[in-house]
Amino acid sequence: MRALRLMEWKSEPELVEVDEPKPGPGQVVVKVGGAGACHSALHLMHDFEAGALPWGPPFTLGHENAGWVHALGVDVSGLDVGQPVAVYGAWGCGTCDRCRLGVETYCENLAAAPVPGGGGGLGLDGGMAEYLLVPDARHLVPLPDGLDPVHAAPLTDAGLTPYHAIRRSWPKLAPGTHAVVIGVGGLGHVGIQILKATTATRVIAVDTRAEALRLAEECGADLVARSGDKAADQIRRATGGRGADVVLDFVGTDGTLALAAAIVRTTGDLTIVGIGGGTLPVSFFSVPYEASIQTTYWGSRPELIEILDLGARGLVRPRVTTFPLDEAMTAYHQMQQLRLEGRAVIIP
């Protein structure tokens, strides 16, 4: 079968021929129906030096996957060949406290995980191939009726990541509050929909690009603001001078973090989701009183079940552009040039 593989750090991946995977005991092979192209893969191609992560190339890209059960290893029950499934992408040890809760993103026994701190497309072979080997059946969530693999795939990361970040701030998103989404890309445009579907907060979206702000409006944003010198004042005014109860930064550069700190309300949440590499100085006087500042990473398996339910009911629907496997690099290049709207999904 063909697979889009990262062969070494600081290089573009190559489309190469590899053997089809066979499931060992407890494992499942999924026929990939959709593999989302995530911005973080651009960091994998361009930014990492050998040794910076506990894993490395060569591996097949694609950590955002859904498809159909293709082959079951011995001892796997509860799944049928042909059944549509989403793949929970963070593969931990499976037995530590965090993994037992389904929070395998924060596995605390990384030495016992299939790859420390990674998963398919992150150190192990991912979904940008015809078939994907999933090392344990617990990582598969059956798709609810109404959701196809092409639209389910981005929900496993571009949906799950903002869902996790928003869910933890639900108590701060009562009617009368404001939430700001900075960066209306693959994750941000889904984040706006999740805020609208699960809370009664007013949503303000910020981006540099007019097309992204149009997409934000189509996703339900109550107000959009062009990022720049005037954005902080505009958002402060829109919140009656109080600031936003929850600010979700899907970019994470110095500039967006400074904006986030300038617009967060006292006791608000400032959540850094984007891996833009920026920094935010935090001291007693640098942020409003009792503002909580946190990072979040991906989400849990129970949360994946919830975001798939929102997807199946049409309450959250990623804007998807599909590409065949041999045009996957076109998708990444368009993303890099900020020309891609919403999420690219590769159909192998």
Binding flag, residue 109, Zn ion (CB under 5 A): yes
The residue written with tokens 């890209």 in the block is 61
Beta carbon of residue 335, minimum distance to Zn ion (angstroms, whole number)? 12
Q: Which stretch binds Zn ion (CB under 5 A): 108-116, 130-138, 215-223, 276-284?
A: 108-116
Helix (H, G, I), strand (E, B) or coil at 303: helix
Which is closer to Zn ion, CB of 225 or CB of 335? Answer: 335
Q: How far apart are the first and last CA of the chain?
A: 10
Please state, in angstroms and rounded to a whole number, the distance separating the CA atoms of residues 339 and 287: 34
Binding flag, residue 116, Zn ion (CB under 5 A): no
Binding flag, residue 40, Zn ion (CB under 5 A): yes
Q: Which of 32, 90, 107, 195 binds Zn ion (CB under 5 A)?
A: 107
Q: Which of 157, 207, 269, 341 binds Zn ion (CB under 5 A)?
A: 157
Binding flag, residue 345, Zn ion (CB under 5 A): no
Which is closer to Zn ion, CB of 40 or CB of 208? Answer: 40
What DSSP assignment string belongs to 177-210? Answer: -EEEEE--STTHHHHHHHHHHH---EEEEEES-H
Which is closer to Zn ion, CB of 34 or CB of 243? Answer: 34
The residue written with tokens 């496997």 in the block is 325
Please state, in angstroms and rounded to a whole number, the distance separating the CA atoms of residues 170 and 198: 8
Q: Which stretch binds Zn ion (CB under 5 A): 1-9, 16-24, 157-165, 188-196?
A: 157-165
Beta carbon of residue 156, minimum distance to Zn ion (angstroms, whole number)? 9
Contacts of 36 (CB under 8 A, 6+ apart): 62, 64, 65, 153, 154, 156, 157, 158, 186, 343, 344, 345, 346
Residue numbers 44-83 binding Zn ion by CB under 5 A: none
Site string for Zn ion, 295-334 (x = CB under 5 A): ----------------------------------------
Please state, in angstroms and rounded to a whole number, the distance separating the CA atoms of residues 278 and 261: 13
Binding flag, residue 92, Zn ion (CB under 5 A): yes
Q: Which of 99, 115, 312, 345 binds Zn ion (CB under 5 A)?
A: 99
Residue 172 CB neighbours (<10 A): 18
State the residues that interact with Zn ion by CB under 5 A: 38, 40, 92-93, 96, 99, 107, 109, 157
